[in-house]
Chains A and B, each alone.
Chain A
Amino acid sequence: MTETQHAPLRDDPGRAEDAVPAIELAGVRKEYHAYGETVAAVQGVDLAIAQGEFFSLLGPSGCGKTTTMRMVAGFEEPTAGEVYLLGESVTGVPANRRDVNMVFQSYALFPHMSVFENVAFGLRRKRTPKAEITERVTEMLRIVDLTGRERRRPSELSGGQQQRVALARALVNRPRALLLDEPLGALDLKLRQAMQVELKRIQREVGITFVYVTHDQGEALTMSDRIAVMNDGLVEQLGTPREIYERPASKFVAGFIGTSNLLAGDAVESGGGTSVLKHGDGGRIEVGREFATGDKVELTVRPEKMQITADEPGDGLCRVHGKVSEVVYLGTSTNYNVTTDGGADVVVFVQNAMNAEDVARRGDTVWLSWEPQHSYVIGSAE
């Protein structure tokens, strides 16, 4: 990959325009009618995606993320609400007149055309002069590292190369935004990881807003500037990857993003903005909120934040007591599955440092501890 400096493909929009979101969704709903029933795939979404942002829509299948994106692309019209591109409503504007382009899940390359013609397709439709087409296609193919493959057919390319053709085919049009629908889903793990880095590099190089739809939280966390986690047609949480990961706003987000240990405890004392929860024998968890005594409180702790020791940890740390049910060696780390005295199944990741031996064996009784700021209350269970 050549690292030559070049101007972003999109004309510099200027500061005043920067304030206008590239894409804005206001109260967008989408309902389908099937078999006499009305199903709401998207139940009211409000989003503003800034120019030049790498934005991900993350969620399990059926959460409405793809429908949301298809409404932006113009393949679906919202039942209610408005979609704005650079501040202008695009309601009623068909897909072929929207200045956004899409990278499809299985690439949807034109099988009867060469790589060059695939990439030139949009420019030809816009009646771009021939010389310019050649120049822009060539440049785009250079950016996606496909120089020399112009005459190939899509079927003669590897999955990763097809992926890059799909990307080039969309980007060469210099759209307001690029919509990517699970673009790496068909690639194997190694290639997927390489392409994640590659996508990020290309996005930086062309400076175009990317809206990335994925169900893979790792992918979303790696690449995004911001993530909207969707569930059941609604946005559950909107934030940076760090916010989403470390401070999940709901049980769903906590469960969906990474691995989370869910613990519950009864409030035993409170005051001064904090409470102490009891979890099994000797379990003592401090949280940064006041609860009435006797309240049942649920919280999450990330596995890598926990420590595992045979002796009781020192004051100031949250702790629970339990028994190791499984030890899984993973090379760089070891996972310990622990059943707490309070009846919760938790997992703890321990990095394998130099010459380190297993800190516990199956069947050992251990203490788990963590810093209080790593507890996230997600609600009080009744």
Chain B
Amino acid sequence: MTADRQAAANRRGASDPALRRGLTTRRGFLGAVGAAAGAAALAGCGIPGRGGNGIVTQADIDEYWHGRSGKGHINWANWPGYMEDDRSTIKAFTKETGISVTYKEAIQEAADWFGKIQAPLAANQSIGFDLMVVTNGIQFTELVELGYLAPLDHHRLPNFARYASAKAKNRAYDRNNIFSIPYVSGITGIAYNSKYVKEPITSIQQLFDPKYKGRVGMMSDSQELGNFGMLALGIDPEKSTEDDWKRAREVLRSQRDKGIVRKYYEQGYIDAVTKGDVWLTMAWSGDVYTLSSPDVKFVVPKEGGTIWSDCMMMPKTAANPVDAIRLMDWLYAPQNNAPLTEYINYVTPVPAVQDIIRKDAAEASAKDKPDLDRLATSPLVFPSPEEYAKLRTYRSLSNAEVPRYQKVFQTISQGA
């Protein structure tokens, strides 16, 4: 869920995020060791579990918000490429509300971020941020399960209630949006380089075709990879069972062992498919949209793709949740969200933005008009209902299932 940030980072002339990631995880790894070591040393023998805190009642919500008031300043952690370079959206927010925002591109990878914040949250300490953006994946589930997130007071989210698309509300990963609302969503499908692939790509099966031996890229993320394995078998990942996982594993394993897979990518696939190291690969919609290379095309395969969401949420130790939730809601006003969507090129949770962009396009100069037209009509940014019907969501995993799921799929990209 990070490749768009890579693209954005590349636009700004930054280095390959895959490599940067290698470095940030190195640092993160050491941090995690230290954190875990500290926690366990305190515990003496064993590391206590922190599960079972994910159930929240209205009383809990009221208690959390009781007596809180705004402090006029928000610290926000987000991914690279998720905000205009001049931070104009933030400036507009500050101008309108008087609330200042310190914005940091502090999140490079979900697991890495989780590792950084886990220790202070476990100790009920501040992580230095009031607002953060986390993908609806395993780390999200862990944050919920461990009770690290502040429950949302929906009385404070009128714009969300009014403008959010149905697809942004009440998803399986966070029923009733108790902890989170989407910031932006993206589609996982197939990207291919038409310079090398001489047939239309329409099906996931083509990722398993031996004629593309050594030319296929898959994602190493166990959820993304598992989803495509299951979709290839006609299984809806959201409703999958453990047996389905194992069947999908066998398919993916044989794909790997036949030498069809060139590499399991975290983020670098877009570079590889552009250069022709791989010819077709699992990909995120925004990456391909941003790339705007005539050779590289993005398709949602007929078996279906997946849609995921990077969600806004607050750690329970946030210093200023009142202002943070105000910002969350403010972003759901279509006129506030439109400039952001024009910049990020992913699926916005606010469908009304499409009309605004159409209007912008009509009024735009000749130079900007084609871009805005393309954006306003792109199925990758504003999927049609038919398109949506093909998209599946991640399987929501219980705490007991997480390690089992990981064990099934993680081993594939690790060659086991």
Direct contact of A and B (CB under 8 A): no
Chain A residues at the B interface, C-beta cutoff of 8 Å: none
* B→A interface (CB under 8 Å): none
